[in-house]
Structure 1
């Protein structure tokens, strides 16, 4: 390896990330006011509309698990429980403490911030975990369980902070 190659690779990583590149390209096109022809935008619209259903289908397919057990299963359940507690309780509480006492947001904005923080884990986390070769089981379990738990936490937050 060349000296400094690791640093250069690290610094150029954002420029090689397709999500960041697509976002930057979108900002550039929007800033110029350029309108792309329908022949270009129509396939992009179709792909964009298919993204969420495709992610949900992928997540659904991952719900089938092989037999597991033993200490590993207990450790995975404990890890998932911590992730869910942080996402569904810790994050909304942190948002409440920052948006309320520190930022002094009005009631309706405080409600919006806390509700957004209390949303369940996004299915994108599963897609990213799969793409980058990480633990898809944790992402999958966090998505499913936080969706169930958030039905309660979102209701409580809306009741407590709502009009």
Structure 2
């Protein structure tokens, strides 16, 4: 049973996040230390360096051969079902042929703060076995679901850019040419104007995908966790130890992950007119997806794989953990509903402790 000492440990893990948030907010709102461009650069650093190395550091030390594969299967089923529902929503026109809200809804319902909040809380409730499952869930999130989110964000951006570059409904593509003006193309189906040529042809549907794959191949988030898991498998198979110089190099960057992400969020908040930038309606939407839809999907995903007992309760509880800080960083980087994700992280984390204790009590009573 969780006691007041355990609650204090969770609060002790959460409050430093808000210290970084407050410093970021104050540095812009009151001290005027950073411009919006500098704030974007800080978020870029977090997205491209701090987060992938943070994920790498934790995956390096996992034991892939000791993971609970039934628990992992339930997590995959739950999140795959969520993806299918959101894809169907987008395909049926519920998102008006735009991927913006399906992508944001996936972030809200599937990505949670497993390490900072999840580890101390679940360890207090279920001991070391609960902590191990939360860490395994984090590894899957870093290995599978964050790259999937990046793919969706890049694809949405590529499609938007590709659509904007299309000249008309016939599929003409506008291409910028160097120089002052382009020569007239005559009667060969090309219309020339100042510095542009419009090619009258239907562009390939694979063009956005090519751009997406190229960008993902250059993104450290794509392969950071893969490298970590590869080393973890090799090290545990042949009992190898990571060289101290390598581990120190990884640690010095990974320790900046959560703190710099919250600092970046504080910078973002300070540049907004309102503290709750997205309004009460979207805040409620985010809360329902995070604390209701996420646990429900996990409960449903646990049925076909046959999760029972404490593992089932831990699976449902960890699915109700507050919003992942990483989801805000990526939303800010790609310009997609960062106001919604920042509100979900800040106020969801504050509200999560009583909600999770209530979940714990209900699950134990049903047990």
> Structure 2: which 5+ runs fail to align?
1-174, 176-202
Match of 1:95 among 261, 276, 298: 298
**Judging changes above 3 Å, is the alpha-carbon distance between structure 1 residues 11 and 147 closer, same or farther for their aligned structure 2 residues?**
same
Match of 1:9 in 2: 211
More helix by share: 1
Kindly state the Cα deviation for residue 142 of structure 1 after the two structures are TM-superposed.
0.9
Kindly state the Cα deviation for residue 117 of structure 1 after the two structures are TM-superposed.
0.7
**Judging changes above 3 Å, is the alpha-carbon distance between structure 1 residues 8 and 61 closer, same or farther for their aligned structure 2 residues?**
closer
- Cα distance in 1 between the residues matched to 2:297 and 2:233: 35
Match of 1:149 in 2: 351
Whether 2:291 is the aligned partner of 1:85: answer: no
Match of 1:121 in 2: 323
Match of 1:62 in 2: 268
In angstroms, what is the RMSD of aligned CA positions?
2.8
**Judging changes above 3 Å, is the alpha-carbon distance between structure 1 residues 12 and 153 closer, same or farther for their aligned structure 2 residues?**
same
- Cα distance in 2 between the residues matched to 1:28 and 1:102: 29
- Cα distance in 2 between the residues matched to 1:14 and 1:78: 34
Match of 2:246 in 1: 40
Q: Which has the larger radius of gyration?
A: 2
Kindly state the Cα deviation for residue 141 of structure 1 after the two structures are TM-superposed.
0.5
SS at match of 2:255: helix
**Judging changes above 3 Å, is the alpha-carbon distance between structure 1 residues 36 and 111 closer, same or farther for their aligned structure 2 residues?**
closer
Give the length in aligned residue pairs.
157
Higher relative contact order (CA 8 A, sep 6+): 2
Q: State which drifts further: 39-48 or 82-91.
A: 39-48
Match of 1:50 among 241, 256, 276: 256
Q: State which drifts further: 31-40 or 76-85.
A: 31-40
- Cα distance in 1 between the residues matched to 2:231 and 2:306: 36
Structure 1 length-normalised TM: 0.77
Alignment check: 8 A CA contact 1:107 1:161 kept: no
> Structure 1: which 5+ runs fail to align?
none
Match of 2:229 in 1: 27
Kindly state the Cα deviation for residue 19 of structure 1 after the two structures are TM-superposed.
0.8
